[in-house]
Amino acid sequence: MKLDRKEILNVLETITIAGEGKNMVESGAITNVLTFGNEVVVDVTLASPALHIRKRAEDDIKKILTERFGEEVIVKVNTKVVQPEKPTQAPIKGNELPGISNIVAVASGKGGVGKSTVTANLAVTLAKMGFRVGVLDADIYGPSMPIMFDVEHEKPISIDVDGRSKMKPIEAYGVKLLSIGFFTSPSQAVIWRGPMASKALNQMIFDANWGELDFLLIDLPPGTGDIHLSILQALPITGAVVVSTPQAVALADAKKGVSMFLSDAIKVPVLGIIENMAYFTPAELPENKYYIFGQDGARNLAADLDVRFLGEVPLIQSIREAGDYGRPAALQTNSHVEYIYEEITKNVVEETVLRNENLPPTEAVKITTMAGCSAVKKTS
């Protein structure tokens, strides 16, 4: 018996692939049909690796060809599974926020390393340098900024901006502030699921009248979770600063934080790492340094991850007291703390200007000049 290839294809058009709806010939699953006397060889390519789909396809082909051409026909099916390539996940890009030149996220992998204290002192130092600064307290479950700026009893008011009602941020020490802490009592726990927390953040970002800002600092909660993704999806972050103590446990979590920002799905530049509580110096022994949490841990981590080490902040009682009293320690003029934060802030400014692709060269020079840095040539 002579087998006709065209007739075989016509028969195979009556078979559909499970889950696809199209017949085998139309879908391109039948890639080739060969005949040798009473032998038929059918090459099949499937997109699904499921064993039951593959087995069913082979059985259907053998059954229908045997029924059509008789039991003497020998049918061989060569099946190959080729899964379509997954599309490359595009980096998360935030929506533009008009009027804000640079958005810097301040993060930590672990809680209790002083991230909020560092954020507050960076903010007031930037303001002292002449920059227009805002701070978004994104730590929904543990807001700290109202206490650190001595405005915990303040409430943002609603103002009309171009026919729309907007929140007016609270201002203290030349810094504009918004925090969930302004909308809850100090003793009230925020018991929200991720979507509700994300919605509240979006309101503080887009339903606020931030005005013109040179820097918006975002105090992120510890870890890597819903809030971080919501912020990264909502805003075009210029770069991230990671805060850690020299302690091994904190460094392990800080490394995860850096990894999150540098992941293919996010791709937010890491401006550098700040080592907080680097050492302790007693007031009566100013030349002595006691490395309570370890020595140079964050500095070494920065070198390992090939990111900039932005500076170290010692464990000083006045920094803690200043935060508790609501007056960030960097406001103390002609103090050792003021000098420490000025140097760290200069480094943050330099890295921010280098990383901000949308910053005009003239603005880049202006910003670095205001910060007292050497002008950074903007790279494309």
- pLDDT reported for residue 189: 66
In a domain, 21, yes or no: yes
Q: Number of folded domains in the chain?
A: 2
For the chain, the 3-state helix, strand and coil shares in percent, each to the nearest 5, are 35, 25, 40
Q: Please tell me which residue, 232 or 165, carries the higher pLDDT value.
A: 165
More confident of the two residues 48 and 367: 367
Residue 380 covered by a domain: no
Mean pLDDT, range 6-12, rounded to an integer: 82
114 assigned to a ligand binding site:
yes
User: What letter would DSSP give residue 36?
Assistant: E
Q: Which of 54, 81, 108 is the last residue of a domain?
A: 81
pLDDT at position 176 over 80: yes
What rounded mean pLDDT belongs to the chain?
Answer: 83
**Tokens representing residue 189 in the block:** 């726990």
Residues 77 and 191 in one domain: no
127 and 70 together in one domain: no
Nearest 5°: the CA angle 163, 167, 169 is 135
Edge-to-edge strand list for the sheet holding 239-244:
170-172, 175-179, 133-137, 213-219, 100-107, 239-244, 270-280, 309-315
The pLDDT assigned to 145 comes to 93
Structure tokens at 162: 């171009």
Residue 110 annotated as part of some ligand binding site: yes
Residues 23 and 65 occupy one common structural domain: yes
Q: Is 115 annotated as a binding residue?
A: yes
265 shares a domain with 143: yes
Residues 353 and 208 in one domain: yes
Q: What percent of the chain has pLDDT over 70?
A: 88
Query: Is residue 220 situated within a structural domain?
Result: yes
Instruction: Tell me the mean pLDDT in the region 83-109.
Output: 71
Answer whether residue 110 is part of any domain: yes
Residue 379 counted as domain residue: no
In CATH, what number is assigned to the domain containing residue 210? 3.40.50.300
Q: Is 116 annotated as a binding residue?
A: yes
In this structure, what are the phi and psi dihedrals at residue 261, rounded to the nearest 5 degrees?
Answer: -65, -35
Q: Is the predicted pLDDT of residue 119 greater than 80, yes or no? A: yes
Q: Which of 59-68, 87-96, 323-332 has the largest mean confidence?
A: 323-332
Q: What is the CATH number of the domain that holds 18?
A: 3.30.300.130
Whole-prediction pTM value? 0.72
Look up residue 62 and give its two tokens: 């053998």
Would you say residue 95 has pLDDT above 70? no
What is the spatial distance between Cα 206 and Cα 198, in angstroms, rounded to a whole number? 12
Spatial neighbors of 181 by CB under 8 A, at least 6 apart, are: 137, 143, 144, 145, 146, 147, 152
Q: What is the mean pLDDT of residues 265-270?
A: 84
**113 appears as a binding residue in the annotation:** yes
pLDDT surpassing 50 at residue 197: yes
CA-closest candidate to residue 209, choices 100, 343, 77: 100
Range of the domain at 199: 100-370
